[in-house]
Amino acid sequence: MARTPLPKGRYETAEQKRVFFRQVLQRISALPGVVAATETSTLPPYGGIYGEVTVPGKTHTETWNALFQLCSEGYFKTLGIQLERGRLLSESDVEAARRVIVVNQTLARNFFGKEDAIGRSIKFNILDTLPESPKDAYFEIIGIVADAKNRGPQEPAQPEAFMPYSMSGTFERGVLVRTAVEPLSMLQDVRREIWAVDRGVALTLTGTLEGYLQQFSYSQPRFGLILFGVFAIIGLALVAIGVFSVMAYSVSLQTHEIGIRMALGAQQSRVLNMVLRKGAVIIAIGVIIGEIVSLLLTRAIKSQIWGVSSHDPITFGAVLAVLIAVGITACLVPARRATQVDPLVALRYE
């Protein structure tokens, strides 16, 4: 990916931007290793331009808002967005700046319900206030694509439309390139092709989309995960020490009893099972209390969890397995020590 702030005074109109990006995309698409390339007005998953919309024939009390993306016909192939119905933008749509749009499933569902959205029209009111943009323009829906994240990784997809980038001369632009090889290995080639069209174009925020997400989306949650992980490991260590200490103390109190049992012919396995059963009771009580408290506390941290349910059964099951394994391991050492007690020494133990 690369943001392309264009030189002032040379690319102010929609036509000037169309000519520039058509040449850039043709050159980049011809590079070996390039699968698809597109112009874009914003970078996913934080796209596009937000504003109020007007839908003819629809009455509603609340304000209807949607995002729209100024893009080229290669946008969907570049990002792997699947067509559900209708058709995608074509090169002729972009070249002729036709007033057509492709919308996501959320927009079709929210604004048209069970009606067929194909062939219906939408007006993006913000265009009326912008220079070098069509006024009082209604865009025909020609296709519906699958939802993709457009308000960050944590939020559900919002209503979004995709229109030809040649429709407006406003907003900053950039390019996205899908490659068949390691993306950063082609960064210099992409930069060279852009500068071949205009050496005065500055390139900013160059890199991979994955790197962009790592920097702006995942760094804070990752820090929180590491912090919580450190405290969790400390807590787990304290649990193990606590169970071990309780069991060791319990075994010491039973030394005399264990000696009598072994003097009367009790097998080491029976002594081992007796100690482990008592440890299992302690572990079971702790696990039951912990699970109940955890289910209650998930409400407090629900806002910090995304991508999985706050009551995710796999997570709870994994934690349960780890705690039981740690508890049993902490019981084994005192239990084995109990089986090695000399009956004569145990009988004299006070």
Q: Which pair of structure tokens corresponds to residue 179?
A: 């490659």
* pLDDT cut 70: percent of the chain above it: 94
Q: Domain check: are 82 and 191 in the same one?
A: yes
Q: Domain check: are 40 and 136 in the same one?
A: yes
pLDDT for the residue 240: 80
What long-range pairs does 183-188 form, CB within 8 A, spacing at least 24? 183/208, 184/208, 185/33, 186/31, 186/33, 186/34, 187/2
Q: Domain check: are 173 and 276 in the same one?
A: no
Q: Domain check: are 258 and 144 in the same one?
A: no
DSSP β-bridge partners for residue 145: 83, 104
Q: Does residue 219 have a pLDDT over 90?
A: no
What backbone torsions phi and psi does residue 161 show, to the nearest 5 degrees?
A: -125, 155
Q: Does residue 92 have a pLDDT over 90?
A: yes
Domains of the chain: total? 2
212 lies in some domain: no
Q: Domain check: are 83 and 227 in the same one?
A: no
- The domain boundary, picked from 168, 185, 207, lies at 207
* pLDDT cut 90: percent of the chain above it: 51
Contact by Cβ (8 Å): 28, 192: no
214 lies in some domain: no
Least confident stretch, 9-18, 102-111, 119-128: 9-18
Q: Domain check: are 112 and 138 in the same one?
A: yes
Q: Does residue 58 have a pLDDT over 70?
A: yes
330 lies in some domain: yes
The per-residue pLDDT for range 274-301, each reduced to its tens digit, is 878 888 888 888 888 888 888 888 777 7
Q: Which pair of structure tokens corresponds to residue 183?
A: 């993306």
Q: Domain check: are 86 and 43 in the same one?
A: yes
- The domain boundary, picked from 207, 229, 256, lies at 207
The per-residue pLDDT for range 256-274, each reduced to its tens digit, is 777 777 777 777 788 778 8
Q: Domain check: are 261 and 170 in the same one?
A: no
Structural domain that includes position 266? 220-347
Q: Does residue 350 have a pLDDT over 60?
A: no
Q: Domain check: are 133 and 250 in the same one?
A: no
Q: Which pair of structure tokens corresponds to residue 294?
A: 């955890």
Do the strands 138-145 and 83-86 form a parallel or antiparallel pair, or are they unpaired? Answer: antiparallel
34 lies in some domain: yes
Q: Domain check: are 14 and 98 in the same one?
A: yes
Cα dist. 230→227, 309, 317 in Å?
Answer: 5, 22, 20
Share in percent of the chain as helix, strand, coil (round to 5)? 50, 15, 35
pLDDT for the residue 241: 85
pLDDT for the residue 345: 64
pLDDT band at residue 41 using 50, 70 and 90 as cut-offs: very high
* Averaged pLDDT, 315-330: 83
Contact by Cβ (8 Å): 335, 278: no
Cα gap 128→270, rounded to integer Å:
85
- The domain boundary, picked from 207, 233, 264, lies at 207
pTM flag (> 0.75):
no
* Averaged pLDDT, 221-249: 83
60 lies in some domain: yes
